[in-house]
Chain A
Amino acid sequence: MYYLRRFLIILIIQIVIFAFISTIFIFNFNLERESLKKQSKQFTELIAKQAGIYFTVNDKKNTKAFISYLDSNIGIDELSSAFAITKPNIISIFFSDDIVSGKINAGVNENFQKDDSAEINKDEKYFFNNKYVAIRPFYGDYEKPMGVVRVEVDNIPLILRTLSTNAVFYLLLFLILNNQAFLFYLWTKKKKPPITDTSYIKESSIGSIKIMQKIINQIIEDHNNISDEKNKN
């Protein structure tokens, strides 16, 4: 029973420490996710700008030529290295007439902006949306968009990335918190009373014994005084 209680206390302390580290991890993960969102938006804007320039003067269905155009203007290596954390493998280019005619579900509203409520823009798994979608319309000579550039980014690699980047920090934090918990235990630990031979009598009985001792001493003293007076006479 004693060992079970000790084990349970240790388990509870470890759970509290893990909960604290998990909170820090979630905070770090959210920071990384916001950074990735920003990167994705900038990336999509860049592609949309290039698509607007290219498809204004070229055949819109010739997307093979567009990727060569991207390579010559920006460089595929630069494009792929723009994402340091997790990058999209697929860049989608959808034209507005295909979207309007319903041939394709691009996850946009009637203004060709991202529709956050669209099912295709979500992927709920492991208690959070692990897909981020960035969508930007691209324009030709007219005000109406020619189409949209859509980029999907997976959030799952971010979890591993956050864990691997901060691994040593989490480990040290775990060790330090355990150390602090142990110090706290030492501080609050009650000092055991020293074992003495007086344990045969209770502390509360000492007072009455002292009173009895005082009365007996008084009686003895009185008797001594009487005997002294008799001797003098």
Chain B
Amino acid sequence: MRKIKIKRFIIILFLSFISFTSYLNANPTNNLVVLETLNSENKFEYSGFFINKSSVPIYDISIRYVAKSKNGEVIEAKSVSLLDKNNYPLQPGEKLNFSFVIDSSPKTIYTKKLYFYN
């Protein structure tokens, strides 16, 4: 009886491990490329575009930007919704241009992360 329990435990452990690693493989990063540059007001400006490659309209797309200082402290966090009245909802195959500006001084930003929500 005890042996059967141990066997069952090993099988469950094995299957959980395989499922977990498969989950990691099935979650690649998104296909968004954003260009960063310094604008005329000496602020970081981000521009890029997104194409709806799915077969259904998209009702919500947003980007969250997080900037950190030299010590790892968050100095600016900004969420930008990419859809407005003109392009809501984003139809299949439709292309969306976007750009946004960050208020923090470029010299104080050491690490920046961009998260995409769809």
Which A residues are closer than 8 A to B by beta carbons?
61, 63-64, 66-68, 71, 76-77, 79-81, 86-95, 98, 102-105, 119-120, 123, 131, 152, 157, 160-161, 163-165, 167-168, 171
Give the CA-CA distance A168 to B19 in the complex, in Å.
Answer: 11
28 A–B contact pairs at CB < 8 A?
A: A63-B45, A67-B49, A76-B33, A76-B49, A76-B51, A80-B31, A81-B31, A87-B29, A89-B32, A89-B33, A89-B34, A89-B113, A90-B34, A91-B36, A92-B36, A92-B37, A93-B35, A94-B37, A98-B38, A103-B38, A103-B106, A104-B38, A104-B106, A119-B70, A131-B111, A164-B22, A168-B18, A168-B21
New A-B contacts (10) at CB < 8 Å, excluding given A67-B35, A89-B32? A68-B49, A93-B36, A104-B38, A105-B106, A119-B70, A120-B110, A163-B21, A164-B24, A167-B20, A168-B21
Min CB distance A74 to B, Å, is 10
Judged by a CB distance under 8 angstroms, whether B8 is at the interface is: no
**Given A80-B33, A91-B33, A171-B14: A161 in contact with B38 (beta carbons within 8 A):** no
- Of the residues B14, B24, B38, B40, contact of A160 by C-beta under 8 Å: B24
Given that A64-B97, A67-B49, A163-B21 are known contacts, is A103 also in contact with B35, CB under 8 Å in the complex? no
Contacts of B112 in A (CB 8 A): 90, 152
Query: Which residues of A lie under 8 Å from residue B70 when comparing CB positions?
Result: 119
List the 3 shortest-distance A-B pairs measured between CB atoms, nearest first: A167-B21, A164-B24, A164-B21
Residues of A within 8 A of B14 (CB): 171
Contacts of A161 in B (CB 8 A): 24
- Report Cα–Cα, A66/B46, bound state, in Å: 12
Contact across chains for B24 and A89 when beta carbons are under 8 A apart: no
Instruction: Verify if B42 is at the interface (C-beta below 8 Å from A).
Output: yes
With contact pairs A119-B70, A171-B17 given, residues A63 and B47 touching in the complex (Cβ less than 8 Å): yes
Size category of the B interface is 35 or more
Most buried by B among A90, A91, A105: A90
B107 to chain A: closest residue by CB: A105
Q: Within 8 Å CB of B31, what residues of A?
A: 77, 80-81
Interface of A is mostly: helix
A-B contact count (CB 8 A): 93
A90-B46 in contact (CB<8A): yes
Query: What CA separation (Å) do A68 and B116 show in the bound complex?
Result: 20
For A80, give its contact among B24, B32, B111 (CB under 8 Å).
Answer: B32
Closest B residue to A154 using CB positions: B113
Question: What is the CA–CA distance of A171 and B16 in the complex, to the nearest angstrom?
Answer: 12
Decide: A63 and B29 in contact? CB cutoff 8 A.
no
**Which residues of A lie under 8 Å from residue B24 when comparing CB positions?**
160-161, 163-164
- The reply to whether the CB of B114 lies closer than 8 angstroms to some CB of chain A is yes
Q: Which residues from chain B contact A90 at a C-beta distance below 8 Å? A: 34-36, 46, 112, 114
- B55-74 contacts to A (CB < 8 Å): 70
B38 touching A86 by the CB < 8 A rule? no
Q: Given that A119-B70, A120-B110 are known contacts, is A63 also in contact with B37, CB under 8 Å in the complex? A: yes
Q: How far is the CB of B41 from chain A (nearest CB, A)?
A: 11
